[in-house]
Chains A and B, each alone.
Chain A
Amino acid sequence: MISPKRSVAALLIGVVAAAALLAMTPSAAQADTYKAISGAGSSWSSNAIAQWAVNVQQYGLKVNYASTGSSDGRNQFKNGTVDYAVSEIPYGIKDGGVVDSAPTVGYAYMPIVAGGTAFMYNLTSGGKQVTNLRLSGDVVTKIFTGKITSWNDKAIKKDNPGLDLPKRNIVPVVRSDGSGSTAQFSTWMSQEHPSDWNSYCAAAGRPTPCGVTSNYPTIPGKGFIAQPNSQGVSGYVAQKANVGTITYVEYSYALKTGFPVAKILNKSGYYVEPTASNVAVGLLGAKINQDKGSAQYLTQILTGVYNNPDHRAYPLSSYSYMIIPTEISSSRSFTKDKGKSLSTFANYFLCEGQQQAEVLGYSPLPINLVKAGLSQVKRIPGTVSKAIDVKNCNNPTFSKDGTNTLANNAPQPSACDKIGVTQCTVGTGGAKAVSTPTSANASSGGSGTTKSTAGKAGSGSSSAGSSSSGSSSGSGSSGAGSDGTASGSGSGSASSAGAAGQGTLVSCDADSGVCSNVVALPVESDAGTGFGSKQWLMIGSVAALLALVFVPAAIGIAVAKKRGRR
C-alpha cells in the first residue's frame, strides 16, 4: 500500500544525490592538476605516509596508501597493481627457502623515514600501569621465542632491579601477515641471538638457520597471539583487559595508543628508548649501499646499528624505503602523469615532510639520504623538474658541516638508565606522563604518578624543557575510569633547529582506549580545504541513507494513522 510513496521517496533521494554530485564539479580547477596515485605496503611507516598524504592534499594531490604489510606491498608493486610500494626490506631476500624475486621492470629504492622498532607492552603491577620497563636484547629474544614466559622471570628482574613484576604470563603478540617489522626484528634476532632464534624456528617447523623472515613463525599452544597489521598488534596490546602483552611495532604506534615501550639495552650498557634522536644516533652505524649501479642502491645493512657503541644508540633502528618505478611498462599501470604526482609527493616528504617525523614517532632522514633520495626522485618517469634547495627543508638533522645535528645534540641517557642501576621512574612511549615508582626510591612514588580519574577529563603533560624527549603525550588509559578522556600536550624539541612550534595532542577514545595523534601542521591551511563540496556530499549521502530507511516507515505510519481515523 505504501509502494507508490516509497518510489516517490526513492526518486527524491535520487534527485538529492544527483544535485549533490552536480554541486561537486571541480571548483578547484587550479594551476596544477595531479593524477591520483596509489601505493601499498609497510604498516611500520604508514603513520608518516598517511600524515604526508593528508598534507599534500592542499596542493590538489591525492595519494592513496594501503598499509597492508611490506610483503604485500612488494608483491603488488611487482605485479604492477600499485604505483609505488613501501617496504622495510628490499627484494631478493630468501625467506622460508623462497627468494623474493625482484620486478623485471625498472625500479629503485628511496629511503623515506627512519624509526625504531619498539616493544610496546601492557603491564600492571599492583594495579598500576608499569611504564618504565627495561629489557636486554637477550631477554627480548627469549620472550619472543617462548623461553621466558612469566613477567617475574629472574632475567627480567635483572634488567629491572627497581621493579616488582607480577607472576603473570607474558603474551607475545606477533604479526600474522607478511611484515617488514617482523623482517627487521628477525634480522636483528638472527644476527644477535642466532641460537635462540634458530631453535624456536626449528620448533615451529621452519628450516634452519632461520635467518630473516617476514612471516613470524608461531607454535600452537605457546600462548602467542598473531594479529594482522601494526594496527592489529598495537590495538590488541592497547586493549585494557589484555594485561601482560608485548609486541614489536614502530614507536609511533605506542605514541598513538598511549602505551609505554620497553627501553632496550644497547652495546654500551644503557637502556634507551627509540626516540627520534636515539634512532638518529643509532643509525649513524648503518651501512648504506652506495653503489649507484646496483639495484640495491641505498639499501641498509644494520649490523653496525646493532653494535653501535654510542651510549644513546637505539639498537633496533632502521630506515624504511619506498620502491619507485624508474621505467614505464605495459605490465604496470604507471604513467608519466602519475610520475609527476609521485615525484611531487616524494619531493614534499623528503624535504618538508621530514620536519614532522619526530612528532609522529619517527626520526628524520639525515642530509646524505635526503640528497640521495631526491636524486632517486629524478629517475621517476615524468618527474617534475624542480630544483630543491635542501637548506630550506628545515630538517632537524641538517647542519652546516654535514653532520647530523639531531644525533649531535641527542641528550645522553640519564644515569638511572645504566645497566645495574635502579631504573628511572619516568614513563616511556605514549605513557610518558605516567611514572612508575621503583622500590629503591619508593618515597617519591606517590607524587610522581599522574593518573586520570574516572569521569573527569584528565590531562597529562610532561615538561617540554626536559632534555630527554621531543614530544610529550598524555594517557588516560591507566585509570579505571572508562569515560575519562585524557589529553596531553607538549611542544619543543631537543634540537634547536626545525621542529620548534610543533605540538602533539593525543586524544584517547574512552571505549577502546585507542588514542590518536593529532598533529599540528606547520602549514597554513587553505580556506578551501576546510568544509567543501566533498563534505557536503558526505553529509548528503548520510542523510539520503537515513531517509531511505526512515522515510518509508514514517510514511507507512502516517498512512496507517489516516486509515485508522477513517
Chain B
Amino acid sequence: MSTDSPRLLSVVRDPADLRFRLAAHAGGVTVLAIMSLVGLFLAFRAAQAIGVAKFSFFTEQAWEPDAGKFGIAAVLVGTILIALVAIFFAVPLALGTALYITEYAPIRVRGFLIGLVDLMAAIPSVVYGLWGFFFLQGQITPVSKWISQYFGWIPLFRVDGTDLKDPLASPTVYTSSTFIAGIVVALMITPIITSIMREVFLQAPLGEREGALALGSTKWGMIRSVVLPFGRGGIIGGTMLGLGRALGETIAVYMIISPIFVIQPHILQAGASSVSSLIALRYGEATPFGTSALMAAGLTLFLMTLCINFAASAVVARSRSGASS
C-alpha cells in the first residue's frame, strides 16, 4: 500500500442512525418511484391515442377522439394563457404581501397574517370556482369591456363579435374567458407564491440590512438593495412553482370557461380551454379510446409541469448557495 493514497475512512453508524437513514432513503425513493410510475402509467395509457394521432397530436386543434380528429394545440395554448394571466396577477400581489408581512407588518399581527394567507390555500378550489362563476364574472365584465375598448388594438385584448357603440350589446362575449379564469387561478396560487417569497425574504442577512440602514438608506432603499436582490431566487422559484400549479388547476377553470377547441389568443373573449378542465369535462363519458386521448393530454401536461418545477427548484437551489455568502 502506497503512502500517497488517502487513508480509508470507515464510518461506524449507530443502529438508530442506520434506521433513520433507511427510512429517509425509503421515503425519497418512494416519491421518485410514484412519480415515475404516474408518468409510466400515463405514457402506457396514452400510447394507443398517440399511435393513432402521431405528430398531428401536437398540431390539431379539434378534440373529437372518436372521429380520429384530436390534438392538444388549442388546449395547450389555452392552458398556458390561463397560467400566464394568473401569474400576471398573482406575482405582484404575492410580492407585495410577502414584503408587507416580512418587513412592514407589526410583529404582533405577523402570525395572524401568515395564518390568513395560508388559510387562502386551504379553501377548496370548487369554492373559488363558485365565487368566480356567480360573483366575479358579473363584476369583472365591465373591466374586460374597458380593456378591450381602449387596448383592443393589441391582438391579445381584441374581442370579436361585439359592437362597442351598441348599448344593447350583450356582455356575454366578455364572460367565461381566459381572463376571468386566470384571475380566479391567480387567487389560488397567491398563497404558495407568498409563502415561498416570505421564507426567502426572512432569510435576508441581518448584517447587510443593518449595514444599509446605517449607511442612511430608507426602509424601501434597504428592501431594494438587500432584501430583493437576496430574495431574487425565491421570487423566481415561487413564481415558477405557482406557474406549475396554475397549469394544473382544474375545477375552478372547468366551472368558469366555455370550452372551445380552437386556438383562442383573445384572452378577454368568451371561450377558453385548458388541458386539465378538458380531462375533467370528458373523462366521465369518454370511450376507451377517448380516455387514451385524454391520458395523452394529461401526459403532456405532466411533462410540462415537471420541467417547470425542475427549473424552479434549480433556480431556488442556486440562489440559496449563491446569495447567502
Task: Give residues in A with beta carbon < 8 Å to B.
Answer: 2, 40, 68-69, 71-72, 74-76, 96-98, 166-169, 171, 176-178, 205-207, 214-215, 218, 220-221, 223-228, 232, 235-236, 239-245, 511-512, 514, 549-550, 552-553, 556-557, 560-561
Contact = CB atoms under 8 A, between A and B. Distances in A.
Contacts of B107: 560
A220 B137 contact: no
A230 to B, nearest CB: 13
A240 to B, nearest CB: 7
Given A75-B284, A97-B66, A178-B285, 9 more contacts: A72-B285, A76-B284, A167-B168, A171-B170, A207-B67, A225-B258, A236-B176, A242-B138, A550-B115
A224 B260 CA distance: 10
Given A221-B161, A549-B116, A552-B111, A239 B285 contact: no
Given A75-B285, A227-B258, A557 B172 contact: no
Contacts of B175: 225, 236, 239, 242
Contacts of A74: 285
B285 A240 contact: no
Nearest to B289: A98
Given A69-B284, A223-B173, A511-B134, A228 B255 contact: yes
A543 to B, nearest CB: 15
A549 B135 contact: no
B170 A244 contact: yes
Can you list the 4 inter-chain pairs with the closest CB atoms, starting with the nearest?
A72-B284, A71-B285, A553-B112, A178-B285
B112 A96 contact: no
B119 interface: yes
Contacts of A76: 284
Contact of A239 (B62, B138, B286): B138
Interface in B179-221: none
A241 B141 contact: yes
Contacts of A241: 138, 141, 171
B13 interface: no
Given A97-B66, A553-B111, A557-B108, A235 B134 contact: yes
B184 to A, nearest CB: 15
Nearest to B66: A98
A169 B169 contact: yes
24 contacts: A68-B284, A75-B286, A96-B66, A169-B161, A169-B169, A177-B281, A177-B285, A220-B261, A223-B172, A223-B270, A225-B258, A228-B281, A236-B175, A236-B176, A239-B138, A240-B138, A241-B171, A242-B171, A242-B172, A242-B175, A243-B171, A549-B115, A549-B116, A552-B111
Max count, chain A CB within 10 A of own CB: residue among B118, B134, B161, B255: B134
Interface of B: 62, 64, 66-67, 69, 107-112, 115-116, 118-119, 133-135, 137-138, 141, 160-161, 166, 168-173, 175-176, 254-255, 258-262, 264, 270-271, 281-282, 284-287
Nearest to B160: A221
A400 B178 CA distance: 59
Given A97-B66, A207-B67, A221-B161, A226 B259 contact: yes
B194 to A, nearest CB: 16
Contacts of A40: 284
Contacts of B171: 241-243
A259 B171 CA distance: 19
Nearest to B112: A553
A553 B117 CA distance: 13
Max count, chain A CB within 10 A of own CB: residue among B111, B262, B270: B111
Given A71-B284, A168-B168, A227-B176, A549 B119 contact: yes
B138 A560 contact: no
B281 A244 contact: no
A548 to B, nearest CB: 8
Contacts of B258: 176, 224-227
A553 B67 contact: no
Contacts of A553: 109, 111-112, 115
A76 to B, nearest CB: 7
B170 A169 contact: yes
B294 to A, nearest CB: 13
Contact of A561 (B108, B112, B138, B264): B108
A556 B285 contact: no
Given A169-B170, A244-B170, A556 B108 contact: yes
B160 A560 contact: no
A214 B66 CA distance: 14
A244 B259 contact: no
A144 to B, nearest CB: 15
A83 B271 CA distance: 35
Contact of A171 (B112, B172, B286, B287): B172
Contact of B255 (A232, A240, A560): A232
Contacts of A220: 260-262, 264, 271
Max count, chain B CB within 10 A of own CB: residue among A207, A214, A243, A557: A557
A97 B69 CA distance: 13
Contacts of B287: 98
A97 B287 CA distance: 12
A556 B255 contact: no
A552 B111 CA distance: 7
A220 B270 CA distance: 10
A557 B281 CA distance: 47
A77 B54 CA distance: 32
A221 B141 CA distance: 18
Contacts of A514: 134
Nearest to B174: A241
A249 B109 CA distance: 50
A545 to B, nearest CB: 8
Given A76-B284, A226-B259, A232-B255, A97 B67 contact: yes
A312 B133 CA distance: 37
B170 A168 contact: yes
Contacts of A75: 284-286
A225 B284 contact: no
Contacts of A97: 66-67
Contacts of B286: 75
Given A97-B67, A549-B119, A223 B161 contact: yes
Contacts of B69: 205
B111 A557 contact: yes
A266 to B, nearest CB: 30
B285 A225 contact: no
Contacts of B112: 550, 553, 556-557
Contacts of A226: 258-260
Max count, chain B CB within 10 A of own CB: residue among A218, A227, A240: A227
Contacts of B64: 96, 205
A98 B285 CA distance: 12
B260 A225 contact: no
Nearest to B69: A205
B285 A244 contact: no
Contacts of A169: 161, 169-170, 172
B133 A235 contact: yes
Contacts of A167: 166, 168
A176 B170 CA distance: 21
Contacts of B134: 235, 239, 511-512, 514
Given A168-B170, A227-B176, A512 B285 contact: no
Given A169-B169, A178-B285, A225 B270 contact: yes
Contacts of A171: 170, 172
A169 B118 CA distance: 44
A176 B259 contact: yes
Nearest to A238: B134
Contacts of A224: 258
Nearest to B61: A220
A206 B135 CA distance: 35
Contacts of A221: 160-161
Contacts of A549: 115-116, 118-119
A477 B259 CA distance: 28
Nearest to A152: B168
A560 B108 contact: yes
